Amino acid sequence: MNVSCVVNQQARSADGVWEGESLLYLLRERFGLYGSKNACEQGECGSCSVYLDGTLVCACLVLAGQANGCQVVTIEGLDGARVQQAFVEAGAVQCGFCTPGLVVATHDLLQRVPHPTEAEIREALAGNICRCTGYAKIIDAVHRAAGSP
């Protein structure tokens, strides 16, 4: 099967995509975009979060064929400098494996809710697992990115 889509504002296509291939595999192995991480492959950890036609999805749960004709935005194409800087300033980056998914999820939250409460932050990031930080610094990072005290 051939899959053609726009990834990070660039037209991309791949031939020989098999029917069960995930969008995550397509992005990482065929397009060389390694920012979205492959961890659980079950949609539980959030490390592979991307936008598909403007909707936040776990790329491991989306078939590559479903992205045909769609717009995909990964951490590499995200306008997320403010969020990334807030994560650095808050010390919310440790091993870094979960960081791309958390940055994409935070970006999505701030697009919908510019000044979220802690409860809204926790709900928005509930699909992202971090095994290093304990989440306090991550929540602080989201507040910083939102310009909250």
DSSP 81-96: HHHHHHHHHHT--SS-
Helices (H), 41-124: 81-90, 99-112, 118-124
The pTM of this model reads 0.94
**Where do we find the tokens 């807030």?**
86
85 CB contacts (<8 Å, ≥6 apart)?
145
pLDDT string in tens for the chain (149-residue length):
999 999 999 999 999 999 999 999 999 999 999 999 999 899 999 999 999 999 999 999 999 999 999 999 999 999 989 999 999 999 999 888 999 999 999 999 999 999 999 999 999 999 999 988 789 999 999 999 999 76
